[in-house]
Amino acid sequence: MNQIKVGCRLVYQVHTPTTFLFNISAARNEHQQIVEESFYVEPYYRIEEGAVSPLGNRMVRLSVPPGDLTVSYTATVNLRVEEAQATDVSETPFEQLPADVLPYLNPSRYCESDKLLQFASEKFGSLVPDYSRVTAICNWVYDELSYTSGSTGPTTTACDVLELKKGVCRDFAHVGISLCRALGIPARYVAGYAVNLEPPDFHGFFEAYLDGRWFLFDATRLAPVGGFVRIGTGRDAADVAFSTIRGSADSPEMQVWANEERSNDRLLDPNNVETAVSSAP
């Protein structure tokens, strides 16, 4: 079991009465146990916390007047990471997919898989339908796209990224998800904290449904999936934005961290491609 300490500090200058929705708390599910956590707001305001998804996503709502605001979250999380030999993981036939998995085959706001059917078929349709095909998609995304901070914005879709040939972690994940869905592989977006990510920030991964369960993938190769602490899971990044603002506020400072306290070194090796990692229900 890996034990990871995560946290963030978000500083805002609020200009008008504003309501924030924060999605920064570690998710609660059977594979991710929160040992301890704290959520601080300075100056003090009442917060409202609630579960917003059966996948364990948690949201905090906060309404504040104009002025300075600092939001701090810390947690110690135990990860029960499940391992499998990548060579033994096959794709799940369509007729065997559970009903709750089927929505992750559909196009979504940032993942226009319906526009990529022919492209995905030409690039990856002849590959063996197993874990290695999703790995091949990640390898192609890594080779074809340039990781460039600030190159995309909140309206950039997977098809936009393929034209630009550059993006950030959420864009790499959106392209991977779109190509998987175009091939009939259910895929969904995951946001969270990541050990050994440089520079430290919130990170975007994705999951593909193979052999009856979800497996983690990171097309950026910036962090090992064995050190990933999930915040939220959804169809794409629109479902799990770390901060949604209704009002007017600027954020001059943000700090994010994830450090291993106790770990399986093999699973935190970004060069380990033989072990498939599953850490979702």
CA distance 229 to 79: 8
How is residue 72 annotated by DSSP? E
pLDDT in 10s for each residue of the chain, 281 residues:
789 999 999 999 999 999 999 999 999 988 899 999 999 999 999 999 988 888 889 999 999 999 999 999 999 999 987 888 888 999 999 999 999 999 999 999 999 999 999 999 999 999 999 999 999 999 999 999 999 999 999 999 999 999 999 999 999 999 999 999 999 999 999 999 999 998 899 999 999 999 999 999 999 999 988 899 999 999 999 999 999 999 999 999 999 999 998 655 555 655 554 556 765 54
User: Topology of 2-79 in CATH?
Assistant: Immunoglobulin-like (2.60.40)
Provide the 3-class DSSP secondary structure of residue 29: strand
CA distance 92 to 44: 49
Per-residue pLDDT, 81: 79
Cβ proximity of 240 and 55 under 8 Å:
no
> Which string of DSSP letters, residue by residue, matches 77-109?
EEE--EEEEGGG-BBPPGGG--TTTGGGGS--S
Q: What share of the chain is helix, strand, coil (3-state, %, to 5)?
A: 20, 40, 35
Q: Where do you find CATH 3.10.620.30 in the chain? A: 82-239+266-278
User: Topology of 82-239+266-278 in CATH?
Assistant: C8orf32 fold (3.10.620)
Per-residue pLDDT, 252: 94
Helices (H), the chain: 117-124, 131-144, 158-164, 169-182
Q: Where do you find CATH 2.60.40.2250 in the chain? A: 2-79
Q: Give the gyration radius of the chain's Cα atoms.
A: 19
Per-residue pLDDT, 268: 60
Q: Quote the Cα angle for 5-7-12, to 5°.
A: 175
